[in-house]
Amino acid sequence: MDETLRVVVTGGNRGVGRAVAAEAVRRGHRVVIVARRPDAGAAAAREIGAELVVGDLSSTRTVRELAGALPEVDVLVHNAGLWPDRRVLNEDGFEQAFFTNHLAPFLLNRMLEERLRRVVQVSAGLYVTGNVDPDRTPTGKDFHAVNTYANTKLANLLMVPLFAERWKDAGVTIDAVHPGVLRTDLGARRGVLGALLKTVKWTLKPPGKSGPPVADLITADGTGRYFHVRKETPLRAKALDAPLAERLWADAEKALDVP
C-alpha cells in the first residue's frame, strides 16, 4: 500500500499515539486522531495537521458511538491503553483496563471490518508476564496494579491470529507491535512511588521514537505478525494458546453482542 490512506489512531493526542499520528501525517496520510478530551484533542490535531473525532473506549456504548462517528477509515491503529492502579468496573461491569485494552479494540474491529484494509495493534512486551483467567480477569477478580495491565495486553494479543484468519479472504490484514519501553504517562502513579517512576522514566527513550516503527506497519504487507519495535518476533507460547483465544473470542462476541 503506497497510496495516501485514511488512518485512524486511537489515543492520538499524546504519547505514542501522538507520535504515530504525527509520523503518519509526515508520510502523507490523512490522519484522524481519537481523543476523549475535546480541548487536548483539538490542540494535538491542530499541531500535527490531523483531524479529531472525540470519543472514548470506556464502554460498549461509547465504543459503538465512536464507530458511528468515525469517517472513512483504511487503517485503524489501536493505541489507546490503560494501566490502572486500582480496580474500577465500567458501566458494563467489566474491569476498566480489560475493557479498554482488550474488548474495545475487539468491538471496533468487528464494527468497522467491512470498511477496513488494515489494523495495527500497539502492544506491550509485558504480555509475556500475563496470565488471563476468563472467569476472573474480565471483572478484575484477579486485579493487580501491575499484572492486570500485562493480562489485558495478553488477552488482546491472543486475538491477532484469529482476526488474521477471519479476514484473510477479505484482504484485511492485522499486525501487532511493541514500540519499546518509552517515557510516557502510562502507568503514572502518585506519591513517593510516582516520583520514583517519573525519575526512572527520564532514563527511557521519548515517545517520539515510537512514531516511525509503528507507522512503518501502516503500509506493510503481511498479517498475524508481532514486532518488537522494527523486528518481527515470534510470539511466546502463552500468546498462541488456541483454546484460550477461542474462549476469549466467544466471550467477547457474547458480551458485546456482535454477530
Domains of the chain and any CATH numbers: 6-256 (3.40.50.720)
Q: Which three cell numbers stand for residue 204?
A: 527511557
Instruction: Kindly state the helix (H) or strand (E) to which residue 176 belongs, with its residue range.
Output: strand 173-178
| The predicted structure's pLDDT at residue 207 | 58
User: Among candidates 27, 26, 30, 28, which has minimal Cα distance to 9?
Assistant: 30
Confidence of residue 190 (pLDDT cuts 50, 70, 90): low
Q: Which three cell numbers stand for residue 187?
A: 502507568
Q: Give the whole-angstrom CA distance, residue 178 versus residue 195.
A: 25
| The predicted structure's pLDDT at residue 202 | 37
Predicted TM-score of the model (pTM): 0.90
Express as a percent the part of the chain with pLDDT over 70: 88
Beta-strand ranges (E) seen in 36-147 are 51-54, 75-78, 118-122
Write out pLDDT tens, residues 75-111: 999 999 999 999 999 999 999 999 999 999 999 999 9
Mean pLDDT of 145-170: 97
Which conformational region is residue 229 in: left (phi greater than 0), alpha (psi within -120 to 50 degrees), or beta? Answer: left
Instruction: Kindly state the helix (H) or strand (E) to which residue 6 belongs, with its residue range.
Output: strand 6-10
Instruction: Kindly state the helix (H) or strand (E) to which residue 18 belongs, with its residue range.
Output: helix 15-26
Q: Which three cell numbers stand for residue 91?
A: 458501566
